Amino acid sequence: MHILLENVFKELGGRQILNSLSLEIPQGQTYCIIGRSGTGKSVTLKHLVGLLKADRGKILIDGINMVGFQDRQLRGLRKRMGYLFQSGALLNWMTVGENVALPLIEHERQLSRSEVLRRVREKLALVGLQDAEDKLPENLSGGMKKRAGLARAIIRDPELVLYDEPTSGLDPVMSSQIDEVIRDLQTELGVTSIVVTHDMASAYRVADRIGMLYEGQIIEEGTPDEIRSTTNPFVRQFIQGDTKGPLTAESSTDPFTGSKKTARVKDS
């Protein structure tokens, strides 16, 4: 899927969360959105699945503007997408296998029980959870819950997968395993992915491009190498986790250039 956001605006709770947000993701690429807590990363993903509606602007999926889609059209679109929720969002009263099977049971009622089971096992194996099929979510570690959520997000072989913090709370080895699954989906199935993350090690591993969201816009975007060596003080402070810098200070510094109050012109 090709994704293009053009000047998207969204106000929530009296605050302008997305403020003319624009970004483009070519078919088959992995784009990482980084940025501080509360900047609107999850809100951005929710627009792409139609859980939130833009106040203004365009969200083009394969060239078709989904802003203003009716429920029926949204359902058609969602069929082609997988969404790994930040919280995992597993249903407590169902086993891991049943949770992973849910999207199939909901959208592909024609499938036989054995076919559903076959696909569930295939995806559980992909995320390393082949032995957890009959477990209840309460008996899983945080990392296992994440992986179960991931298996559910990809059960229908989506064309676009949205990952909200797929590696947060995981140990480094587990994080690398999740990153590998994300990469494998890209290389083997040509999936387009958006990964929201605070985990820079993970972003550098999976991303084709990384964009930093700040005050409702992408203030800088580039390849992992470009981001690693950025001179933008906002991005530098974020990726290095410094406590001092423009992100924490009350300042009139321009987030695009790092220089004092100039017109918002983005380098390219």
What is the contact surface with ligand ATP in residues (CB under 6 A)? 12-13, 17, 35, 37-43, 86
Contact between 202 and Mg ion (CB under 5 A)? no
One-letter-per-residue 3-state SS of 18-40: EEEEEEEECCCCEEEEECCCCCC
Per CB under 5 A, which of residues 67..86 are in contact with Mg ion?
86
Q: Give the residue with the Cβ less far from ligand ATP, 35 or 88.
A: 35
Q: What three-state secondary structure class fits 4?
A: strand
Cα–Cα distance, 143 to 208 (Å, whole number)? 25
Given its phi and psi angles, is residue 88 left (phi above 0), alpha (psi -120 to 50 degrees) or beta? left
CA distances from 144 to 52, 104, 119, 182 (A): 28, 21, 18, 16
Given its phi and psi angles, is residue 121 left (phi above 0), alpha (psi -120 to 50 degrees) or beta? alpha
Among ligand ATP, Mg ion, none, partner that 149 touches (CB below 5 to 8 angstroms by kind): none
Among Mg ion, ligand ATP, none, partner that 116 touches (CB below 5 to 8 angstroms by kind): none
Of 27-35, 41-49, 70-78, 232-240: span binding Mg ion (CB under 5 A): 41-49
Query: According to CB under 5 A, which one of 42, 167, 193, 257 is a site residue for Mg ion?
Result: 42
* Least distance in angstroms from the C-beta of 12 to ligand ATP: 4
What radius of gyration do the chain's Cα atoms show? 19
Q: Give the residue with the Cβ less far from Mg ion, 42 or 217.
A: 42
Q: Give the residue with the Cβ less far from Mg ion, 42 or 175.
A: 42
For helices 113-126 and 142-153, the axis angle rounded to 10 degrees is: 130
Q: Give the residue with the Cβ less far from ligand ATP, 42 or 186.
A: 42
Q: Give the residue with the Cβ less far from ligand ATP, 37 or 187.
A: 37
Among ligand ATP, Mg ion, none, partner that 70 touches (CB below 5 to 8 angstroms by kind): none
Among ligand ATP, Mg ion, none, partner that 37 touches (CB below 5 to 8 angstroms by kind): ligand ATP
* Least distance in angstroms from the C-beta of 41 to Mg ion: 5
Element (H, E) at 142: helix 142-153
Contact between 167 and Mg ion (CB under 5 A)? no
Cβ–Cβ under 8 Å, residues 149 and 142: no
Q: Tokens for 217, please give them.
A: 């816009």
Measured torsion, CA atoms of residues 153, 159, 163, 167, in degrees rounded to the nearest 10 = 80
Q: Give the residue with the Cβ less far from Mg ion, 86 or 253.
A: 86
Q: Give the residue with the Cβ less far from ligand ATP, 15 or 264.
A: 15
Among ligand ATP, Mg ion, none, partner that 47 touches (CB below 5 to 8 angstroms by kind): none
* Least distance in angstroms from the C-beta of 164 to Mg ion: 6
Strand pairing category for 81-84 and 160-164: parallel
Q: Which residues bind Mg ion (CB under 5 A)?
A: 42, 86
